[in-house]
Amino acid sequence: MSGYVDSQTWEAWFESYEVSWNNTSFIFVVSVLLSLAVVIATWMMRIPNDDSDHKQEYNERMKLQDIQEAKAEEESDNEEKEEINEKSIGNLLEFNHYLPGNVEKVQRRPSEKTIETQLSAEQIMAERKAQSEQLAAIFKMMQDQEEKFGETTIDEIKDQMKLYCG
C-alpha cells in the first residue's frame, strides 16, 4: 500500500520531512545559518557590560555618534539643496530663450484652431502656399546676405520657425 491513510502517524511526518530536506539547497541552509550568526553577533556586541561605568560610557558614545550622524546628514542635505538650486537656475537660464515663443504659441493656438475650422480646403491650400513662398523668400534673402547671417540651410530656418509658429 503506497502513501499513508492517517497523516498523523510518525511515518507520514518523517516522509514529509525527508522530502523537504532532500529538496533544500545546501546554499540556502548555509545562508540561513550565516544570517543567524550575524544577527546574534550584532546583538551580542550591542549589549554593554553590567558594569555601570561601562553602560554610562557606552550611552555617551552612542549619543555622541547620533549627534555626529545628525550633523553629517544636515550638511549633506544642505549641499544637495545647493546643488539642486544651481541645477534649477542653470536649467532655467538654458531654456529661457524658448519661453517667449512658447508663451506666444500657447496664446495663439485656440484662435488658430478656430480660424482653421472656418477655412475651406482651398483657403487652407492657399495659406500653405503663401507660407512656403514666404519661407523661400526668407531663405533667398539670408543666402544673399550670407556674411550677415552665415551659412544657413532651409531645414535650419524651418526648425527656427517651429519655435515660434508651432
Q: What is the pLDDT of residues 94-151, one digit of tens each?
A: 655 555 555 556 556 666 667 777 778 888 888 889 888 888 888 888 888 888 878 8
Contact residues for 79 (Cβ-Cβ < 8 A; gap 6+): none
Cell of 145: 546676405
Q: Is residue 139 part of a domain?
A: yes
Q: Cα separation of 32 and 17, whole Å?
A: 18
Q: Which structural domain, as residue segments, surrounds residue 126?
A: 119-165
Of the candidates 165, 161, 124, which has an alpha carbon nearest to the alpha carbon of residue 139? 161
The answer to whether the pTM exceeds 0.75 is: no
Q: Is residue 15 part of a domain?
A: yes
Residue 110 counted as domain residue? no
